[in-house]
Amino acid sequence: MKANAERIEGGVLAAKGFSAGAAYCGLKTASDALDIAVLVSDRPAAASAVYSQNQVVGAPIIVDRHRLPSAGIRGLVVNSGNANDCTGESGVRNAERMCSLAAGQFNVPEETFVVSSTGIIGVPLPMAKIRRGIKMACEAIGKSREHEDAFARAIMTTDTRTKQYAVKLKLGGAEVYIGGAAKGSGMIAPNMATMLCYVTTDADLCLSDLSKMVRRVADRSFNCITVEGHTSPSDTLLVMANGASGVKVRGKELVSFESALEEVCVDLSKQMVGDGEGATKLVTVNVTGTHTDALAKTVAMAIANSPLVKTAIHGGDPNWGRIVTAAGNVGVPFEDVDVELLISGVKAFSRGRPLTRNEARLAERMKLSEIVLDLRIGKGPGKATVWTCDFSREYITINADYHT
């Protein structure tokens, strides 16, 4: 799958023809923070996005859904510190205004810009600050590593570190670049720490190929991670392909490109989970043996979202009982005698019984910072992998002790 793609340094500016700028306009409290950014293509790009499935969506998504997919997108404007969500009609007008302000700086039509916001909800955007911020971000624009780092920092809320990943791959003898930046998946009151991910590429893709690919890749990456099973109203994955490499990706090469795009999105997904609120361990849950992949994913998600499993992992307890009963809790039928569970490669449960002789080795494995659960619950062909993190006291502190 990954044969063609080689990981390189970088993020949203790895691909040719993109530039970015960021600024501080007073939406966050720390004055050394960045809270507004633009990401611009020097030519029209094919762009497609997938959004939060929550019934409640933020104003930016209401606006973007009208503009995407599109073959003529020129840029994105994004702010952190205020999600512009649950802000009514005027919130939608403010989101549109952000696009027109940014587009105005580059003398392009306002419909060629899309918008994201993340942060506190239910509070109107302070548009005077936003206006000044967009101007400053556009003035600060550039193409260096420093500029892409600034973009990655400006979209952060409760994240403790930036999340970036880029690859280059050879397609038809030429080089194509794909890179992205993302922000975290925990939610924090009154902020909703939305999951945002922006991926750019200089490949030339048909809009319809890109749109289908983005949906499939999202299902195999961002839709396979969970911190607490709660999607925010602003979750967005946006992919822009501007064709600046001159490489047309068509036919069979779409498969290679898609696997490279998946590599970028999976890595950014795992970075998100690894930086979940209070997280100390990255947990991979592999489920096999169900009738269908969908059933395997249902079981894997039930394990990944179980507070009992997540607290046990935090405490270093190889608690096979919680894992097996979390699997048994979602209506997917199995017999406990058909169950086999490995924890980071060591057998913990088999044929309806725990393997008590492995207890010491299991306890050792639980000390690792990455835990892998392999659960087989039958003989069917279904399989799924999801990623999550542990549940710590710090998670409660972050989420309980914030007061509005």
The least distance separating a copy of itself from the CB of residue 100, rounded to whole angstroms, comes to: 24
325 contacts a copy of itself (rule: CB under 8 A): yes
The least distance separating a copy of itself from the CB of residue 196, rounded to whole angstroms, comes to: 16
What is the DSSP annotation of 231-271?
A: --TT-EEEEEE--TT--B--TTHHHHHHHHHHHHHHHHHHH
317 contacts a copy of itself (rule: CB under 8 A): yes
Q: What's 48's DSSP letter? A: E
Of 51, 69, 66, which Cα lies nearest the Cα of 99? 66
192 contacts a copy of itself (rule: CB under 8 A): yes
The least distance separating a copy of itself from the CB of residue 387, rounded to whole angstroms, comes to: 17
265 contacts a copy of itself (rule: CB under 8 A): no
- CB nearer a copy of itself, residue 345 or residue 352: 352
364: number of Cβ within 10 Å: 13
294 contacts a copy of itself (rule: CB under 8 A): no
- Residues 332-361 interacting with a copy of itself (rule: CB under 8 A): 332-336, 339, 349, 351-354, 356, 359
The least distance separating a copy of itself from the CB of residue 111, rounded to whole angstroms, comes to: 25
Task: Please give the sequence-ordered ranges of beta strands (E in DSSP) within 68-223, or none if there are none.
Answer: 70-82, 113-120, 163-171, 174-183, 191-192, 196-201
Enumerate the H helices of 122-252 as residue ranges: 127-139, 145-154, 207-220
390: number of Cβ within 10 Å: 22
230 contacts a copy of itself (rule: CB under 8 A): yes
Which three-class secondary structure state does DSSP give residue 170? Answer: strand
Give the DSSP H/E element, type plus range, for residue 88.
helix 88-105
391 contacts a copy of itself (rule: CB under 8 A): yes
Active site residue 298: no
Residue in 194, 200, 201, 231 annotated catalytic: 194
One-letter amino acid of 318? P
Active site residues: 194
Q: Applying CB under 8 A, which residues contact a copy of itself?
A: 53-56, 85-88, 121-122, 187, 189-190, 192, 228-233, 306-308, 311-312, 314-322, 324-329, 331-336, 339, 349, 351-354, 356, 359, 363, 391-393, 395-397, 399-404
